[in-house]
Structure formats: structure tokens, C-alpha cells
Chain A
Amino acid sequence: MAAIDIGPGASDRGNSWDISGYTIIDKTNPANDAGTLTSFELWYNSGGGNAANVKIGTFSGSGTSYDDRDYETLGTVTAGSKQTFSGKDCDVTSGDFLGIYQSSAWMESEATGGSDCYYYLGDAFGGGAQTYTLVSSWIISIYGTGVPGWLNIGKVSGATATDLAKVNSVAVGDISKLNGVSV
């Protein structure tokens, strides 16, 4: 089973964007599968200081209306180098977009090369569907990876499949069928 990935990637880009107090959705590289995002990468520009009250999560929607599916609280994220996070448990569905909120910070970004960003003034996580404003072609430095979930099998020997790391000593992410049934 291939890993899930979402978002444009976290790199030291040629520009910075003051996104203090905004929720930003980057439509570059939507999720390629459904499952759980376990790791995130971000790169904030040091010109804006360390990022405070950072949340990252998945969004569904189209046009100017987007709703968060799930999100993770990261806290303060230091600026000036790529910051990586593991151990997360964020729901994602194929076609979702990655988004981020921070109360203060500048993000590594570029005005061209992306598949558009959308912004909302305030913290949109947990707030239901919101109306966003388009910023054409911008790209920011966020990325997530994870493991595909099991769509057809919910439990194994009474345990919830998404809580399991291994079944019969085989990593859950490496199993495509169980007792002849596609997972």
C-alpha cells in the first residue's frame, strides 16, 4: 500500500507571507488516498518570529467554501528551518486539501507555482464550513504524510482496525487483504 501524501511540500521558498491570524488552505497536491495523516512538515520564515498557536488539518470543499475534516494542535513552531512532527492521527479522505492556522508568523511561500491558496480571517478549525477568499497561484510550505485506512474492515478480533499497528506480525499498512477480503 502506498503512503498518503498531501500539500505542496515544506521548503525554503523565495518569498514569505505574513499569515498571522489567518487559516490558509493550499490546494496544491490534494490527498491521494483516504486514511490517517501521521506526520507533518512546515517551514516558517524567521523574519516573522516563531509561529504561535499552530493548528494543521484537512479540508474538503470547492470554490470558496471549505470545511475542516479533522485537525491537530501543534503549538509553537520555531522559524528558520524545516520543522517535522510525527505521532499524529488526522483523518483524511482522497481529494482533501491541507490547511493551517497560526496566530502569528510568516510562512515560506512563493507567489507563483501553486494551485491556488484560500484564506479565512480567523481560526476555521472546528468551525464548520466557512467562506474563503482566493489568492491565485500562491504556494506555502506545508506537507503531510500518512497511511491508508481500511475501508472494508472495521475490526480485527474485536479491536478497531485503525488502532492496530500489526496483524499477525504484519504491519497494517502492508496488508491489502485479510482472509481473502480487501481491507
Chain B
Amino acid sequence: MYVRVEPSGCCERKGMVQVRFSMYLEPTDYGYDKHHVQVPVIPEEGYQGKVDAWGNPVNAKHFEKWIDALPKKWQNNPFHNHFIYVEPTISDESILAIAEETLHQAYKKWSADTFPDVKNAPYAKPIIDAARITACEAKVQHLKDTALERKV
């Protein structure tokens, strides 16, 4: 199994750096098949049949046939995602250490068929000013650029 810092879920939040961990299983891990799924490869032009005001297909059966006929690819979805809130000065190695511990905690619950509801340690809420926001945004950009990952 492995854990990635998911860039799209990282942002500044209430004066802290929000970091999203996405946790993935490998074929020998418990419950791998639940999130290793086949998904259709949607062509760029999308569905060309009649759609309603929402863009939803008017003829559900026609749409289902279209989806069924599309080529498929395997996609490995996260078995769980978890968020932490850290100081902007935290090192990448410290984030990875928390990520690894979080992965172990989540997998222990996952493999026992319970919701992997990992808890964060409490932290003091900061005084928010422009300098702190700037520091958080810089750390977030760094996380988006580096895409940290750890395999265990």
C-alpha cells in the first residue's frame, strides 16, 4: 500500500496548511478489488445523443448502450482519504512520517471492515495575519509541486 499527498486537496485553511492524504491499496492488500475499478474512457466530444437542460441523456437505455460500448480502463481509487492541518514551517519528511502513520491507522480499520476514521491530534488555532497566509500558500504550492508519496 502507499499514500500520496493529493495536491488538489491541499490549501490554506484557517491559518493552517491543509494537507490531503490519499491512501491506495496494492493487489496483495485486503479489499484491493473494492477500489480497483473499471471505468469507461470518455471521448473528448462526450455523449452525442439527446440531452436535457442538465446535459443528462434523455434516453437512458441509449446512453447505457453508449457507455457499455466504450473502451474501459482500470483505475485504482483511494481506499480512504484523510486531512491534516500543519504549520507552514513543517518539513516534507515530517509530513511523510505523519502520512505513513495515518496509512497504518487507516488500513488497520479498513482491514477490520470498519470505517477508517483516523483522528488528528488537537492543535492550537493560530492568530491569522497576512504573513501567515502567505507562508501557508507558499507551503501549499510546494506540496502541489512536489507530490509527495510513500510506499510501505
Given contacts A73-B11, A75-B6, contact A83 B81 (CB under 8 A): yes
Contact A46 B9 (CB under 8 A): no
Tell me, rounded to whole Å, the shortest Cβ–Cβ distance linking B91 to chain A.
20
Chain A positions within 8 Å of B77 at CB level: 78, 80-81, 83
Main secondary structure of the interface of A (DSSP, over half): strand
Kindly state the separation between the CA atoms of A84 and B81 in the bound complex, as whole angstroms.
6
Asked if A17 is at the interface (CB within 8 A of a chain B CB), the reply is: yes
Tell me, rounded to whole Å, the shortest Cβ–Cβ distance linking A119 to chain B.
9
Query: Which residue numbers of A lie inside 8 Å of B, CB to CB?
Result: 15-20, 38-39, 46-49, 52-53, 72-76, 78-81, 83-89, 145, 160, 163-165
Looking at chain B, what size class is its interface with the partner chain?
35 or more
The A/B interface has a contact count, at CB < 8 Å, of: 94
Given contacts A80-B37, A81-B34, contact A165 B119 (CB under 8 A): yes
Main secondary structure of the interface of B (DSSP, over half): mixed
Kindly state the separation between the CA atoms of A19 and B78 in the bound complex, as whole angstroms.
22
Chain B positions within 8 Å of A86 at CB level: 80-83, 106, 116-119
Tell me, rounded to whole Å, the shortest Cβ–Cβ distance linking A118 to chain B.
14
Chain B positions within 8 Å of A48 at CB level: 42
